[in-house]
């Protein structure tokens, strides 16, 4: 899994795309925006469907959050999120590092991970991860928000090195 950041972040609307589009994004390793119905059980249904705790998603993504991350979102996705809020739907930013699918043995024990982009690369050894981080850092100089780091799987969780 290697991710080029020339692409902008995607929005998956569960009403239109269903869970198949969400699964595709999870398998890609890329972080994404998720639009869920406005009902109180929508997040719990999502979490259960992906074998996560019922409160797996952090609080809703807000308009100020969108403005901070606007450079990573294309115009159509930006407008779709604004329309979702107007329709009283929930917008959530989904991070790949939280999914069981993105834990060993499904992925390698070292990840180069960006809090904006998601999993940029995975490696068996720390030295290879350091080289992957050096490659990743050159394109993300414009924002500390998206700055990648190396994560190591240990004691049942991802730890940033």
Indicate whether 156 pLDDT > 70.
Answer: yes
**Residue spans per domain, the chain:** 10-96, 100-160
Mean pLDDT for the chain?
85
Q: In sequence order, which residues have a C-beta less than 8 Å from that of residue 52 and are 6 or more positions away?
A: 46, 98, 99, 100
pTM score, whole prediction: 0.86
Distance CA 121, CA 34 (A): 23
Read off the pLDDT band of 1 (50, 70, 90): very low
What number is the average pLDDT over the span 83-89? 94
Q: In sequence order, which residues have a C-beta less than 8 Å from that of residue 88 and are 6 or more positions away?
A: 38
Least confident of 31-40, 79-88, 142-151: 142-151
- Quickly list H helices, 29-149: 42-49, 63-69, 75-86, 126-137
Three-point CA angle 114, 118, 123, nearest 5°: 80
pLDDT digits (tens, 9 = 90+) for 111-139: 999 988 899 999 999 999 999 998 887 65
Distance CA 40, CA 154 (A): 34
What number is the average pLDDT over the span 54-71? 82
């Amino acid at each position: 899994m290697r991710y080029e950041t020339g692409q902008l972040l995607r929005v998956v609307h569960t009403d239109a795309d269903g869970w198949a589009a969400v699964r595709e994004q999870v398998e890609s390793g890329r972080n994404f925006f998720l639009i869920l119905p406005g009902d109180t059980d929508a997040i719990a249904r999502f979490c259960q469907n992906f074998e996560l705790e019922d409160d797996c998603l952090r609080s809703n993504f807000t308009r100020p959050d969108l403005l901070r991350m606007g450079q990573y979102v294309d115009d159509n996705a930006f407008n779709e999120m604004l329309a979702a809020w107007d329709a009283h739907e929930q917008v959530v930013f989904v991070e790949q590092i939280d999914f069981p699918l993105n834990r060993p043995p499904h992925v390698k024990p070292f990840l180069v991970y960006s809090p904006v982009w998601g999993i940029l690369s995975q490696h068996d050894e720390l030295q290879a991860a350091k080289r992957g981080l050096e490659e990743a850092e050159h394109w993300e100089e414009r924002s500390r928000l998206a700055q990648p780091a190396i994560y190591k799987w240990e004691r049942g969780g991802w730890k940033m090195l």
